[in-house]
Amino acid sequence: MIVERIVINMLEITYKDGSSTSKITYNSVDDFIANQRLETPDLEDYYEIENATIDGKEVDLSDKTIMGLYKQLSD
């Protein structure tokens, strides 16, 4: 019997763009990383993160910017 384990790792990010707060969800951490590598990503590197969760668990960020999250997750 072959048992396949599927790991989703849904990523939710609440961030500030100037004075407004927005939320974006990615189906996986890999989707976020791939999107940030695009010529025109969904999120600017300098956006300030208020909260980021993976599968509902908060991510402890040392650099609370989109670039900081990208670096932490792509290591």
Q: Considering only residues 3 and 11, tell me which one the structure prediction assigns the higher pLDDT.
A: 11
pLDDT at 3: 64
Please tell me the pTM assigned to this model. 0.86
Looking at residues 13-34, what average pLDDT do you find?
95
Does residue 1 have a pLDDT over 70? no
Q: Contact 11/49 with Cβ under 8 angstroms?
A: no
For 4-35, give one letter per residue: b (16+ CB within 10 A) or e: eeeeeeebebebeeeeeeeeeebeebeebeee
pLDDT at 9: 83
CA 12 to chain CA centroid, Å, is 6
Q: What is the pLDDT of residues 25-65, one digit of tens each?
A: 999 999 999 999 999 999 999 999 999 999 999 999 999 99
